[in-house]
Amino acid sequence: MSLTKEQIAQRIARELQDGYYVNLGIGIPTLVANYIPEGIEVVLQSENGMLGMGAFPEKGHADPDLINAGKQTVTIQPGGVFFDSATSFAMIRGGHVDLTVLGAFEVTDTGDIASWKIPGKMVKGMGGAMDLVAAAKNIIVAMQHTSKDGQSKLLKTCTLPLTGVACVKKVVTDLAVLDITEEGFVLLERAPGVSVEDIQKATEGRLVIKGAVPEMQF
């Protein structure tokens, strides 16, 4: 069984460490805010000018003035602050974000990422992804392993316009957790009920398997 979007976010949340400043991209990454492990303090940054962003609000308690970069209503933690986008991007470009979690259309086995444009489809703009991948200390991608027609999205070479080159460190898909190394995609964990063979068939890029690969636990 492949992971749900919530399970992908839950698995990524385990990568968070105490004291991290974290930027969560649009889509699946925003769900990570709901699964921050107990006992650690993580400060969430949104490029539209929020620091100390919290989880999504409970139904009926949303404040329409509190939105993330994807225009979703969010909450703010005690001590949270607001500032303009110039200050926000100064924080990003200055290397003060420890971890960025992004969605992607394609990722290669060398860490290239295509996440902002599909030619022929309308796009509002590239957003802050290019700044984030250029400056963040660590980048994890949350994505589906294959397209709707079953084509791999973990590739040898991206076919779509690039967002960044050799920048992604880890990928969490609906099928697997993979590190990106000089050898290619190193398979760390597999989704419950998904075999190594299933992941091999779904991965076009170089896939490295080192011994027994455990199932993810939830």
Active site residues: 47
Q: What is the helix (H) or strand (E) element at residue 24, kind and residue range?
A: strand 21-24
Nearest in space to 140 (alpha carbons), one of 7, 47, 15: 15
Contacts of 147 (CB under 8 A, 6+ apart): 153
Between CA 154 and CA 143 the distance in angstroms is 10
Which token pair is 141?
A: 């991608």
Which token pair is 146?
A: 């294959």
Q: What is the helix (H) or strand (E) element at residue 51, kind and residue range?
A: strand 50-53
Between CA 13 and CA 70 the distance in angstroms is 19
